[in-house]
Amino acid sequence: MIDLITLTNKEVSRFLRVWKQTLLPPIITIVLYLLIFWKFIWDKISIVEWVNYIDFIFPWLLMMSVIMASYQNTSSSFFGSKFQHNIEELFVSPIAHWKILVWFCVWAILRWMMVWWFVFLVWIFMVDLNIVSYAYMFLFLFLSSTLFALLWLFNGIFAKTFDDIAIIPSFVITPLIYLWWVFYSTDLLSPIWQAISQVNPILYMVNGLRYAFIGITDVNINLAIWILVTFIIIFISANMYLLKKWYGIRN
């Protein structure tokens, strides 16, 4: 495991050296969201699903920090290595492809954990902290960060220009986040839109995390876990296939 540990240490050292670009932006974004919802909106919408609105919305804010941290680590870093033509050195070395895949996921998770810790500290100072299940909280954060790391790696493999690495965040993730359920319960939607929202994987991520914090969810928790695990297996298989084929790397 020396090669895997070495690669992880290298990447962790890299994003710690530029912490103003890698750790500070997602923290500032989440703090601004918290200030907006806590200072200006909480007074207008105080209760949702019999809980404070700030408690209802915080799992989504925490999940957004996971998305941002995972995206900035995997997709941009993988494409950056392709752009600088140093990714070939990694692929011609005697390192198994599964270790390359694990490497990209591990340091994305480590970066998310650092961002999460600072966001969590801000949350403690701003509102009363109530967590129903620490086990579910860490489970859904881990599954979500792993899934997004794999998704962003998938995007980075296909990207041919710097503009391409923004395709999935701009045209897939952003609509899934802002158009459905994140600011409100799905019970407020019509039956048709409730059915449509069931195909949104982020629904299961946030509701699983929301259950860990406030004990309320719009979906079955066990179903949410199995859906996330299924997506993880799919993207592991797809990324392993592309890495073995040197897709987007070998001319």
What are the residues whose beta carbons fall under 8 Å from the beta carbon of 226, sequence distance 6 or more?
none
The CA-atom distances, in angstroms, between 245 and each of 89, 96, 104, 238, 239 are 16, 13, 17, 11, 10
pLDDT for 236 equals 93
| Angstrom distance (rounded) from CA 248 to CA 82 | 8
pLDDT for 108 equals 76
Which of these, 67, 58, 45, lies nearest to 128 by C-alpha position? 58
| pLDDT digit string (tens) for the chain, length 251 residues | 787 788 778 777 777 787 777 677 777 877 787 777 666 665 555 555 566 777 777 777 777 777 776 666 676 677 777 777 778 887 888 888 888 888 878 877 777 777 777 777 777 776 666 788 889 988 998 888 888 888 888 888 887 777 777 777 777 777 777 665 566 666 667 777 777 777 788 888 888 888 888 887 878 899 999 999 999 999 999 999 988 887 877 65
pLDDT for 249 equals 73
pLDDT for 230 equals 93
What are the residues whose beta carbons fall under 8 Å from the beta carbon of 227, sequence distance 6 or more?
201, 204
| Position 121, amino acid | L
- pTM beyond 0.75, yes or no: yes
